[in-house]
Amino acid sequence: MTRLLSILLLIPLSLALSLSAQADLQQRFRAAIELCTEGHFEEATEVARLVLDSAQLTQTDRGKAYIILGSALQHQGKFQEAMTAYENAIQILKGRDESVADYASALSLLGSLLRDMRQFDAAAQMELHALQVDRQIDNHEGIAVDCASLADLELGLKHTRKAQAWLDKAMKESQLAPALDDAFYAFITSSQAWLAQLRGHERAAVDGYAKEIGYLTHSYGDENPQVGWAYMLLGKAHLNEGNVSDALINMRKGRAILGETVGTNNPRFLLAQVEYAQALESYGLRAEAIQIRSDAETKLKAFYQEQCVDCRITAMALH
């Protein structure tokens, strides 16, 4: 989730309108981005749609608005709508000299969506395309995020050596990218913790996820879905090292934050429920664990069927 924020926050606003119209639309643009970073995704969607309804938008700014809309929809689990928004952004921004970095951002965000939809090959292809575009213009911030995203993909496939190589490239590039903020470093720290976990270094994983929470709370406070998910990851790391009590403490905090911010029907919350059930079972609360896991898995199955995950492959992945 934090990788979406690290990309979204790099999008510059350059509205070519009259002063009064520019001020109004720029305010809405910023409001949509802020609502996304604060975890208010439904409100961000509404504001982004208001921006897109404006007849005064340039094509470049329309492309940026579609990027923001896609991110807000993706966070809500509305994958098909998010894909359409990203595809619109890519079609608008492609070939515009003034929008190359934004075009790369749209490609990378579409890659993140494809990863969420379990289309790993298409996701990697999209991220590599974004990396190629960012390298053409020496966009160091974009290159760092692209490399971190490719590391995340490799971690999902448990390719630890490839993941380490991409993380090293991301950190090296970040030294040339002063615009990167806490969202990027939270993403990197989380990936490093995941890598440690895959290598069996559970204490390093615990420390890494705790560090990620520090980055996120510094920028977004406690009541943010990114923070809620980070607490779930920290809880899982505690569970893996056999510390069930701390696992439950952190997972309960994470579940509470996710429930309040994204709602109990959001796929991220449902995935958290599955992890929480595992901790409950380890604690000896087997009946409660079975009930929670069964309910969450049933809702997740319905969600994936509704979103037709694994069914639709974006045409963009074929280029």
Is 127 in contact with 154 (CB distance < 8 Å)?
no
Phi, psi (rounded to 5 degrees) for 33: -65, -45
pLDDT of residue 11: 53
Q: Pick from 77-81, 169-173, 300-304 the range whose average pLDDT is largest.
A: 169-173
pLDDT in tens, 17-53: 444 556 677 888 889 999 998 889 999 999 999 999 9
What is the secondary structure of 242-264 as a DSSP string? T-HHHHHHHHHHHHHHHHHHT-T
Angle at the Cα of 176 (from 173 to 180), degrees rounded to 5?
85
- The whole-model pTM stands at 0.88
- Percent of the chain with pLDDT strictly greater than 70: 89
How many domains would you assign to the chain? 1
pLDDT in tens, 252-300: 999 999 999 999 999 999 999 999 999 999 999 999 999 999 999 999 9
pLDDT in tens, 56-99: 888 999 999 999 999 999 999 999 999 999 999 999 999 888 89
Residue 227 pLDDT > 80, yes or no? yes
Residue 191 pLDDT > 50, yes or no? yes
Range of the structural domain that residue 257 is part of: 2-318
pLDDT in tens, 133-163: 999 999 999 999 999 999 999 999 999 999 9
CATH of the domain at 131: 1.25.40.10
Range 248-276 burial, b when 16+ CB lie within 10 A, else e = bbbbebbbebbbebbeeebbbbbbbbebb
Element (H, E) at 122: helix 120-136
Q: Phi-psi region for residue 263, left (φ > 0), alpha (ψ -120 to 50) or beta?
A: left
Phi, psi (rounded to 5 degrees) for 94: -60, 130
For 38, 180, 244, 274, 280, the CA distances from 8, given in Å and listed in that order, are 12, 11, 36, 29, 36
